[in-house]
Amino acid sequence: MSETTDVYSAEKRSAVMRRVRGKDTAPEMIVRKALTRLGVRYRLHRKDLPGCPDIVMPARRLAIFVHGCFWHGHDCARGSRVPKQNLDYWVAKVARNRARDNRNQNELRALDWRTATLWECELRDGVGLEGRLNALLRPSSPEP
């Protein structure tokens, strides 16, 4: 490894990746705190639903996924970044994540659930997040 590269050793990379959480992430906690401030009751990580949504409101039939921009390939600055090392692996991984996300949301809709995806980059704007959550919480208008 040359002195100018900023590449982790295999052991260090493994340690970094082990610390990546799948549940109770910082973005997820922001959404949960906002829902609590709004007085909304919810359930977490319902394994009996496709995709094990991060936040579920059974009475409203609403499933919310809180996605990290990088891991799920959002079209923001952070999500469109691609690591320089192991490029093929990361491009394929994000593509698989996106395909899985679409499949899970389609399965939930087939079960008459409403779904929403909140992106990590959207959570910086607390007022905007609260507005988006309020819109999601309103009963949907009846279909014609």
pLDDT in tens, 25-69: 889 999 999 999 999 999 999 999 999 999 999 999 999 999 999
Domain presence at residue 34? yes
Asked whether the beta carbons of 26 and 36 are under 8 A apart, the reply is: no
Total of domains in the chain: 1
Domain presence at residue 144? no
Is residue 113 pLDDT above 50, yes or no?
yes
pTM reported for the whole predicted model: 0.81
* Segment among 29-33, 50-54, 87-91, 103-107 with least mean pLDDT: 87-91
Rounded Cα–Cα distance for residues 115 and 108 (Å): 7
Domain residues for 68?
22-130
Domain presence at residue 87? yes
Asked whether the beta carbons of 65 and 116 are under 8 A apart, the reply is: yes
Lookup: tokens for 77: 């600055």
Domain presence at residue 3? no
Domain presence at residue 9? no
Asked whether the beta carbons of 77 and 92 are under 8 A apart, the reply is: no
Domain presence at residue 115? yes
Q: What is the pLDDT of residue 138?
A: 87
Q: What is the pLDDT of residue 46?
A: 95
Evaluated on CA atoms 132, 110, 120, 88, the torsion sign reads negative
Asked whether the beta carbons of 50 and 59 are under 8 A apart, the reply is: no
Domain presence at residue 4? no
